[in-house]
Structure 1
Amino acid sequence: MFFSQAGARPRTWQPSPSEHKQWGKVFKACDEDNKGYLSREDFKVAIVMLFGYKPSKIEADSVMSSINPNSSGILLEEFLNIVRKKKEAQLYWNEIRHIFTAFDRHYRGYLTLEDFEKAFRQVAPKLPERIILEVFREVDQDSDGLVSFKDFEYAMNYGQNEA
């Protein structure tokens, strides 16, 4: 499988000192009563401040269940680690979106075999046509001759998870 061998790999990413400082300020601002930790509701507010969306119940449950059971909430270091991972995932998703958009030269929201052929001719002109066709078929999850962003994202993540 092509993507299992050459899938995109998320890079380890470290925040800049200013980002790290900003996250610490958000933690302090959301730590009502200066408890030294964020409650579930404090955490939700912090995520809204940093990412612009309110975490779902499932996401909040997941985060709360991942913290030390002996603590009353999310400590600063745990919070910084959670935010770093969310930011890393966001950057990785943006990278996948950028690659998809580069393939989608007509801005249709899907890719055709012709789109794949043009893209591969530019980056790997000696790649055999059969390989391009194999890759396209692998990515086209529902075999309808069109690759949606969802199909493309799945293939990119599949390759990363298989490696």
Structure 2
Amino acid sequence: MFSSQAAVWRRTWEANPSERRKWVEVFKACDEDNKGYLSREDFKVAVAMLFGYKPSKIEVDSAMSSINPNASGILLETFLNIIRKKKEAQLYRNEIRDIFTAFDMHYRGFLTLEDFRKAFRQVAPKLPERTVLEVFREVDQDSDGHVSFRDFEYAMNYGQNAARLL
């Protein structure tokens, strides 16, 4: 029930022209020697410039695996696509955080069944109590009576993946 509805919240995102120009500028700035592509190290620097963190080896490996095996590095269009997807994921995570925060009316960093009841009464007042309880149990992965942000985020992402399978 809850998982399939979570899929409604995610939408695709496109960069506006000024943001895209910024990404192109970062690509050019990180393209040492004007090779026309980014090496592993160039890509790490570009991600750090755009997102403020050094990407993990796994993240860089994933990006490098997306390129043509005959290419020497990440071309501009591939780079722009990778960055767009990263930005979309970042915005989606922020949206999940906002939803969680709206449910967490007492600012405890976790949700209780009562928090779920109050939130669902506001957004879906005719939803049966049994459904709210089922949703809470589904999201409360470790059955401790508290839903952490990680539990909540997992449920939201699980809903995304389940909806794609349908």
TM-score (norm 2): 0.95
Q: Runs of 4+ in structure 1 displaced over 3 angstroms?
A: none
User: CA-atom RMSD, angstroms?
Assistant: 0.8
Structure 2 spans left out of the alignment, 5+ residues? none
**What letter matches 1:86 in structure 2?**
K
Shift of the alpha carbon at 1:57? 0.9
Whether 2:124 is the aligned partner of 1:124: answer: yes
Shift of the alpha carbon at 1:160? 1.0
CA distance in structure 2 between the partners assigned to 1:4 and 1:30 by the alignment: 40
Equivalent in the alignment of 2:86: 86
Higher relative contact order (CA 8 A, sep 6+): 1
Shift of the alpha carbon at 1:147? 0.3
Equivalent in the alignment of 1:65: 65
**What letter matches 2:24 in structure 1?**
G
Aligned partners of 1:30 and 1:45 also within 8 Å: yes
**What letter matches 1:109 in structure 2?**
G
Whether 2:26 is the aligned partner of 1:26: answer: yes
Equivalent in the alignment of 1:4: 3
**What letter matches 1:95 in structure 2?**
E
- Deviation string, structure 1 residues 71-113 (Cα, Å, up to 9, x no partner): 1000000000000000000000000000000000111000000
Equivalent in the alignment of 1:77: 77
**What letter matches 2:136 in structure 1?**
F
Equivalent in the alignment of 1:48: 48
CA distance in structure 2 between the partners assigned to 1:83 and 1:10 by the alignment: 17
CA distance in structure 1 between the partners assigned to 2:101 and 2:35 by the alignment: 45
Equivalent in the alignment of 2:14: 14
**What letter matches 1:129 in structure 2?**
E
Aligned partners of 1:103 and 1:119 also within 8 Å: yes
